[in-house]
Amino acid sequence: MSSREQLKAELLAQLDRQNVPAHIGIIMDGNGRWAKSRGKTRIHGHQEGARRVKTVVRFANDLGVKHISLYAFSVENWARPSFEVSALMRLIRAYIIRERNDLHAEGVKFRLLGRMEELAPEIIRQANISTELMKDNPGLSLNLCINYGGRAEIVDAVKKIIRAGYPPDEISEELISRHLYWPELPDVDLMVRTSGEMRTSNFHLWRGAYAELYFTPVLWPDFDDVELLKAIAAYQNRERRFGKISEQL
């Protein structure tokens, strides 16, 4: 058994399966730096990052995680060089098509979160095919956040509320939650960011209000099942008080 396998076995032995975070959000950062360190192009890094998604989603499903939100393309990412944006959109479309049958076979559900109306029609079409195919699956819900931003989601929710004609006195947290992109999606329990950056970058601002934050220097293409177990172990070693004191828990 390799040292990596030994570490995985130790982390699994220590895992409290009754306290696995129900919803994990991941800011998948570091593809470009991973590629540059190997003399490769940024596009190559994004391709490797897409392959890493399969490992993490499958393992999270095996652990009993109910929802995993992956920050794949933000509303701010349109400002990147056009060739990179185009490559990312092709990669997203290819991922949705390529992984559809495997995800379905593993019982995973699928959906996109974000301003879908601004995406290419073919991406939306392929996403809808996957969502419909997997809607009754019993496993983890994979939420691919494309053209997503936490502020944008809140703004769009407020616009829906205004269009629906709600008076100011009826505005509440619960009402706003009901108008987010997928209202049934629960709050984020654990938010992970790879690559050593220590910020949430406009990801799940509403649902992540009480998320436990976990930052790791590991670049996303190197983030594997062991790294996910480390993040969950850190989560399980924290006391979540939600504004209360320890004696009230």
pLDDT score recorded for residue 239: 81
128 is catalytic: no
Asked if pLDDT for residue 146 goes beyond 90, the answer is yes
pLDDT score recorded for residue 90: 96
pLDDT tens digits, one per residue of 161-205: 999 999 999 999 999 999 999 999 999 999 999 999 999 999 999
29 is catalytic: yes
Classify domain 21-148+187-233 by CATH architecture.
Answer: 3-Layer(aba) Sandwich (3.40)
Annotated active-site residue in 16, 61, 77, 101: 77
Annotated active-site residue in 29, 31, 147, 189: 29
146 contacts: CB under 8 Å, gap ≥ 6 = 72, 73, 92, 112, 113, 114, 116, 119, 123
Q: Which pLDDT band holds residue 116 (cuts at 50, 70, 90)?
A: very high
Q: CA-to-CA distance for 114 and 151, rounded, in angstroms?
A: 11
Asked if pLDDT for residue 44 goes beyond 60, the answer is yes
pLDDT tens digits, one per residue of 75-98: 999 999 999 999 999 999 999 999
Residue 166: how many CA atoms within 13 Å on its side-chain side? 16
Q: What is the pTM of this model?
A: 0.95
Q: CA-to-CA distance for 91 and 52, rounded, in angstroms?
A: 13
For the chain, the domains span: 21-148+187-233
Quick one: 13 exposed, middle or buried, by C-beta within 10 A (0-12, 13-18, 19+)?
Answer: exposed
Place of tokens 């828990």: 249
